[in-house]
Amino acid sequence: MIVMSVVAALAVLALITQAGAFAIARAYPPQGEIIEVAGATLHIVDLGPRDADTPIVMLHGASSNLEAMRRPLGDLLAKSHRVILIDRPGHGWSTRTRVEDSTPDLQARMIDAALGKLGVDRAVFVVHSWSGALGARMALDHPRRVAGLVMLAPVTHPWRGGVGRYNKIIATPVIGPLLAYTVTLPLGYFLLEPGARSVFLPQAMPDGFVEGSATPLLLRPREFIANAHDLVTLKAAVAAQVARYDEIKVPTVIIAGEPDKTVSTNIHARPFAETVANTKLIVLPELGHMVQNAVPDLVKAEIEALVAEIVPLTAAAD
């Protein structure tokens, strides 16, 4: 009797999840074009003038999508620059063939292929949080594609501890998908906003951020599972690439906060800046993890300064 009740409850939750996922997809449809690459279809929003100087590619962190980089930073930059926003494989409206395609090296390969199809030879990469490791990997494995790096509260090095027990559970075969397709979405509706608020601290989360950044897309089962795999495989991935960081030669700017409780500046940004030549490190007091939202004008100014520095180098190479 108990078993039947549990099965019935799971069936109801599965139906609620499917209905909820459908409603979320309708509420937050894709805003750009879909580009097919080996192992993925990538959703890309291409903004701003095509004939501008070096394009700017923006890559979001974990538990989010390209809208987290678009508002306000991407929209500000697109007034005078070509800005290419990408949903990382498995996030937003991008897909990946295998859920295991979760590491920076594999995602870098897909993004490099997509940019090739767009005709983007070189770009400045603006990366946040999880994508700090991805930006570094782009510079290591696809150096001809990367003209410069701007890293916002980046993950770059191994750290003590894990990434949350629930991520490990969701990334576990059988039980993870079972939970993702039943309880995650109904429960997640109550946890999205407080979770987002905690990432902004000590800054206040802007009004309407969750809806404006299309964060509910994360609650769809496939994306939730993909995000969990990204997180549980990240530590080993950065441990494998950290010894190569001295190979990175492109001009790099890092902006991070001292009280960032999500990604420690002392563990990540500072050691990276000490290892990578030609790096400018900006550490701001009382700045949390959402750098692009807290100080968008500063970030914009640093990106534009880097682009201006790169243009003459490109012209000289030609």
| pLDDT at res. 4 | 74
Q: What's the pTM? A: 0.95
pLDDT per position as a tens digit, 88-135: 999 999 999 998 899 999 999 999 999 999 999 999 999 999 999 999
Mean model confidence pLDDT for the chain: 94
| pLDDT at res. 9 | 77
pLDDT band at 311; cut points 50, 70, 90: low
| pLDDT at res. 6 | 67
Strand 146-152 and strand 123-128: the pairing is parallel
One DSSP character per residue, 40-84 reads EEEEEEEES-TTSSS-EEEE--TT--THHHIIIIIHHHTTTS-EE
pLDDT per position as a tens digit, 34-74: 999 988 999 999 999 998 789 999 999 999 999 999 999 99
Please, which residues have CB within 8 angstroms of residue 96's CB and are 6 or more apart in sequence? 39, 40, 89, 90, 110, 226
What Å distances lie between residue 148 and 68, 207, 311, CA to CA? 21, 32, 11
What is the distance between the alpha carbons of residues 33 and 73, in angstroms, rounded to a whole number? 20
Strand 252-257 and strand 279-284: the pairing is parallel
Provide long-range contacts, Cβ within 8 A and 24+ apart, for 307-315.
Answer: 307/53, 307/54, 307/56, 307/81, 307/124, 307/148, 308/53, 309/148, 309/251, 310/53, 310/54, 310/124, 310/147, 310/148, 310/251, 311/53, 311/54, 313/147, 314/54, 314/122, 314/147
165: number of Cβ within 10 Å: 8
| pLDDT at res. 43 | 98
Q: Give, as one character, the DSSP assignment of residue 142.
A: -
What is the distance between the alpha carbons of residues 271 and 281, in angstroms, rounded to a whole number? 10
187: number of Cβ within 10 Å: 13
Position 137 pLDDT exceeds 70: yes
What is the distance between the alpha carbons of residues 289 and 60, in angstroms, rounded to a whole number? 13
Are the CB atoms for 286 and 259 separated by under 8 Å? Answer: yes
| pLDDT at res. 316 | 46
Q: Which residue has the higher pLDDT, 258 or 155?
A: 155
pLDDT band at 85; cut points 50, 70, 90: very high
Are the CB atoms for 24 and 49 separated by under 8 Å? Answer: no
Strand, helix or coil at 256?
strand
pLDDT per position as a tens digit, 193-252: 999 999 999 999 999 999 999 999 999 999 999 999 999 999 999 999 999 999 999 999
Domains, the chain, ranges and CATH? 2-317 (3.40.50.1820)
pLDDT band at 317; cut points 50, 70, 90: very low
| pLDDT at res. 307 | 95
| pLDDT at res. 120 | 96
Structure tokens belonging to residue 26 = 């309708």
Q: Give, as one character, the DSSP assignment of residue 215.
A: G
